[in-house]
Structure 1
Amino acid sequence: MDASTPHCIDTTAPALLICEHCDTVHRRHPLARGEVAECARCGAVLERCRGMPAKTMLALVLTALVVFVQATLWPIVTLGLNGQYVDATLWDMIHMMWVDHSQVVAVLAAGTLFVFPLGKILILGWLLMYARNGRRAPGFRQLMVALHHLGPWTMSEVFVLGALVSIVKAHLYFDVLPDPGIYAYGALMLLITVFAGIDLTRLWDETRDEHAEELP
């Protein structure tokens, strides 16, 4: 490997890697920018080399929070019929589903489009506020586990695709105008996709547990 190639080198990281899927132990080697270390036994991803420091990730999280608030508060679509126009926000849609006896769908929509994405953004922000200084946030272990379980339940991209299909179909019967909320959700979808490509498990190696160091 060329000496001029940027590496992911962390002198504080353990020398060994353990695959979380098959428990195979590997010796850690420096990775070039963009490289991925895979398990020799099952092929699972062990770690990635990402050139994005914690401060940059924190800036992205704050951006995602601002976009999320806009997507939630701004109208998503406006429907018009015979000169009358009605717009609707995310919570207007959820309320209509609840009133229309679709409570299960309403709860799922509220969870996957509001509760889980907001939880993921807030947890990431909390962890990265400390990680930018090389420290572990209070509740680090529990929150990292929570992030792992929250990932599959953040479905903003499914909502955006479904909304676009609905807008196209509704255009046959109504005057349909996409509102700023749908564009905000599109931007949020891109940001969440960026987060999905970042290996957050590296925070275990890049941060230190100050309380553990104080123990004799």
Structure 2
Amino acid sequence: MDASPSDVAGPDAATHGLLICEHCDTVHRRGPLAHGEMAECARCGAVLERCRGMRADTMLALIVTALVVFAQATLWPIVTLGLNGQYVAATLWDVIHMMWLDHSQVVAVLAAATLYVFPLAKILTLGWLLIYARSGRRAPGFRRLMVALHHFGPWTMSEVFVLGALVSIVKAHLYFDVLPDPGIYAYAVLMLLITVFAGIDLTRLWDETCDEDAEAAS
């Protein structure tokens, strides 16, 4: 459904319930959306918001699941390499440590940031916001954390790691005995969870929560 521009709204019109297109800055009035519907800008056709049936409680449960899977993915061995009867298992941090010792410090830092720091920061930040959102409240630091979530998105590259690891396993199988370990499967599950969260419009938390300090001041 298309959102209608609020060009006729007067200067005293309430700002609550308005949508601003981030592409062309057209202001629209928010209308109710049925499950699966989306609001599009009447001027440029960009998607303004989507109606997702997932509630804050459901998203928080997925966040807890993602945190458990993330711990498993980073602590469990990813792959075991065998040569002449000798086998060595490697975790994510073993791989990063080997890259650091191999004078690839830049790659090691990028791998640690994109596979550990940013995904963990995104999971914890979203979990903190959802704990308060369950009761319709905004968490302390809500505005800064919502902005941070927007910037975390491009830097969580678990899906790139999983695809790269699968290609490496296939190629390494020509020279070594390669055994995928539980860590790589945990990363595959984490990739699916991150994909699910990528399809959720988190901007709706602005409308589904209220600032207690602002209400008290009014």
**TM-score normalised per structure 2:** 0.92
Match of residue 96 from structure 1? 98
Tell me the amino acid that sits aligned with residue 143 of structure 2: R
Which of 128, 131, 142 lines up with 1:129 in the alignment?
131
Aligned mates of 1:137, 1:205 — CA distance in 2: 14
Match of residue 176 from structure 2? 174
User: How far did residue 48 of structure 1 move?
Assistant: 0.7
Tell me the amino acid that sits aligned with residue 18 of structure 2: L
> What is the CA deviation profile of residues 44-87 of structure 1, one whole-angstrom value per residue up to 9, with x for unaligned ones?
22111000000000000000000000000000000000000000
> What is the CA deviation profile of residues 86-127 of structure 1, one whole-angstrom value per residue up to 9, with x for unaligned ones?
000000000000000000100000000000000000000000
Which of 140, 143, 148 lines up with 2:142 in the alignment?
140
Match of residue 193 from structure 1? 195
User: How far did residue 41 of structure 1 move?
Assistant: 2.1
Aligned mates of 1:105, 1:43 — CA distance in 2: 40
Aligned mates of 1:131, 1:94 — CA distance in 2: 36
Tell me the amino acid that sits aligned with residue 159 of structure 1: F
Match of residue 55 from structure 2? 53
Aligned mates of 1:167, 1:52 — CA distance in 2: 36
Query: RMSD of aligned C-alpha atoms?
Result: 1.2
Tell me the amino acid that sits aligned with residue 176 of structure 1: V
Aligned residues: 205
User: How far did residue 213 of structure 1 move?
Assistant: 0.6
Match of residue 30 from structure 2? 28
Aligned mates of 2:133, 2:104 — CA distance in 1: 42
Match of residue 72 from structure 2? 70
- Is 1:111–2:113 an aligned residue pair? yes
Tell me the amino acid that sits aligned with residue 27 of structure 1: R
Which of 40, 43, 46 lines up with 1:41 in the alignment?
43
Q: Percent identity over the alignment? A: 86
With a CA cutoff of 8 Å and minimum separation of 6, indicate the structure with the bigger relative contact order: 1
User: How far did residue 143 of structure 1 move?
Assistant: 0.1
Match of residue 9 from structure 2? none
Aligned mates of 1:62, 1:200 — CA distance in 2: 17
Aligned mates of 2:201, 2:22 — CA distance in 1: 14
Tell me the amino acid that sits aligned with residue 215 of structure 1: A
Tell me the amino acid that sits aligned with residue 134 of structure 1: G
State the secondary structure of the residue aligned to 2:23.
coil
User: How far did residue 31 of structure 1 move?
Assistant: 1.2
Aligned mates of 1:49, 1:30 — CA distance in 2: 9
Aligned mates of 1:160, 1:43 — CA distance in 2: 34
Query: Structure 2: which 5+ residue stretches go unaligned?
Result: 2-14
> What is the CA deviation profile of residues 134-163 of structure 1, one whole-angstrom value per residue up to 9, with x for unaligned ones?
000000000000000000100000000000
